[in-house]
Chains A and B, each alone.
Chain A
């Protein structure tokens, strides 16, 4: 049986392909909510890529960074949505 860790690097390659497709949508997007949707999707895929890289490199620090990144991207998404909606904070 071959080693299973290098498979995660191939997985990161496919995730990178998905991120590139999302970047096309962020550049093209006709309205502002389209771009926000693209950025939100990119954030989630980056979190998954960090987890995959963490087990490929066998270190826990990438996964801790992924947890903090998830919470911060959630707060930024809520803030941008509130800004698009208008009104009081």
Chain B
């Protein structure tokens, strides 16, 4: 009885994760701009990864409780991979956005760009201080 309930929860988690990963692909194809594409690609894949890795952890825990101790390694390592994804994905997205803005890619259909002079001045000041 408990095993079937866990199976249904695993199916639901898998469906949510696959849906969001497909949405990431569609958003990457349809959005008009680097920043909006970054928004779609990074956030949707991170959210979908949480659900798929959660389903794997839950399934491993179920098999572990049922008497297969080798699945404990699988669960714990999947949690480690999930932590790695959660730490590295937003940091990489932030670095790409900063690089795109500083290399001169403007947002499409944006009228006011508040960061236009600030970042350049800041980096120039840093270089002067270094010299």
Inter-chain contact total with CB atoms closer than 8 Å = 160
A14 and B19 CA atoms in complex are apart in Å by 9
Q: Is B29 within 8 A of A47, CB to CB? A: no
Interface size on A, residues (CB 8 A): 51
Please state if A11 and B96 are interface contacts (CB–CB under 8 Å).
no
Interface of B, secondary structure class, is: helix
Pick the contact of B45 from A7, A20, A41 — CB < 8 Å?
A41
Contact B93 A40, beta carbon cutoff 8 Å: yes
Query: Which residues on A are within 8 Å of B, measured CB to CB?
Result: 1, 4, 7-8, 11, 14-15, 17-22, 24-25, 31-34, 36-38, 40-41, 44-45, 47-48, 51-52, 54-55, 58, 60, 63-64, 66-67, 70-71, 73-74, 77-78, 81-82, 84-88
Give 28 pairs: A residue, B residue, CB < 8 Å, sorted on A.
Answer: A4-B7, A14-B18, A18-B22, A18-B24, A22-B24, A25-B37, A31-B100, A32-B103, A36-B99, A40-B42, A40-B96, A41-B28, A44-B42, A44-B45, A45-B24, A48-B45, A48-B85, A54-B56, A55-B56, A55-B59, A63-B77, A70-B84, A70-B88, A74-B88, A77-B95, A81-B96, A86-B102, A87-B127
